[in-house]
């Protein structure tokens, strides 16, 4: 009996070893890890519905207060800007969000932001990488127009690779056509 238990253990070890790099010449594999997700990720709001009374209290405080260390509560609530199909034009409904983030960045001159651009799943993956990048750049351009120095605005596109919603209809697609503000 002991022999079979030992055999079983050895088989398990071999299987586990086999689940790692299985190439004959053992090519080097590189693992890279994700940057941890932002601490606060709000539910997406429906576009075209005007923002209600949910003004971030952090921003109001900052206007009267001094420029200090960034606090989590200061970052604007709404961190996603949405886009129409195959478009990278900033929609009117997004103006308020952009202004809030420009104000936040203005009050925290040490802070850099990464603008992550996304697309819905339809069409070519590579074309969607470019579309996500164009969307991120559109947001970057708007923030620059609002006075933020280009050096603090990084863009990164994930194309269709990181959807928020995984369904195959417009119900999911609109949520994925977006740019997210990613703060350190």
Chain contacts with another protein (rule: CB under 8 A): 3, 7, 10-11, 14-15, 18, 21-35, 86, 114, 121-127, 129-131, 133-134, 137, 154-159, 161-162, 168
Q: How far is the CB of 5 from another protein (least distance, A)?
A: 13
Q: What's the rounded Cα separation, in Å, for the pair 95 and 112?
A: 20
Q: Closer to another protein by CB, 101 or 134: give it.
A: 134
CB 176 within 8 A of CB 121: yes
Q: Closer to another protein by CB, 56 or 122: give it.
A: 122
Residue with tokens 């886009």: 83
Q: What's the rounded Cα separation, in Å, for the pair 39 and 170?
A: 28
Q: What's the rounded Cα separation, in Å, for the pair 166 and 170?
A: 11
Residues with Cβ within 8 Å of 58's Cβ and at least 6 positions away in sequence, in order, are 71, 73, 74, 75, 76
Q: How far is the CB of 161 from another protein (least distance, A)?
A: 4
Q: Closer to another protein by CB, 30 or 46: give it.
A: 30
Separation in Å, CA 112 to CA 106, 137, 150, 162: 11, 15, 10, 22
Q: How far is the CB of 141 from another protein (least distance, A)?
A: 9
Q: How far is the CB of 19 from another protein (least distance, A)?
A: 9
Q: How far is the CB of 179 from another protein (least distance, A)?
A: 13
Q: Closer to another protein by CB, 23 or 49: give it.
A: 23
Q: What's the rounded Cα separation, in Å, for the pair 148 and 126?
A: 30
Select from 93, 71, 75 the least CA-distant residue to 84: 93
Q: Closer to another protein by CB, 56 or 182: give it.
A: 182
């Amino acid at each position: 009996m002991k022999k079979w238990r030992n055999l079983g253990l050895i088989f398990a070890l071999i299987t586990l070893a086999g689940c790692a790099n299985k190439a004959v010449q053992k090519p080097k594999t590189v693992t890279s890890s994700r940057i941890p997700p932002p601490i606060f990720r709000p539910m997406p709001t429906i576009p075209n519905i005007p923002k209600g009374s949910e003004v971030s209290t952090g921003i109001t405080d900052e206007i009267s207060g001094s420029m200090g260390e960034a606090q989590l509560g200061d970052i604007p609530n709404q961190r996603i800007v949405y886009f129409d199909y195959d478009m990278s034009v900033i929609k009117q409904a997004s103006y308020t969000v952009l202004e809030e983030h420009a104000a936040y960045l203005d009050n925290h001159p040490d802070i850099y932001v990464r603008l992550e651009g996304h697309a819905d799943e339809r069409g070519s993956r590579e074309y969607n990488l470019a579309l996500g990048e164009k969307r991120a750049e559109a947001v970057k351009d708007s923030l620059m127009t609002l006075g933020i120095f280009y050096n603090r605005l990084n863009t990164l596109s994930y194309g269709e690779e990181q959807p928020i919603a995984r369904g195959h209809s417009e119900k999911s697609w609109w949520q994925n056509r977006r740019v997210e503000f990613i703060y350190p």
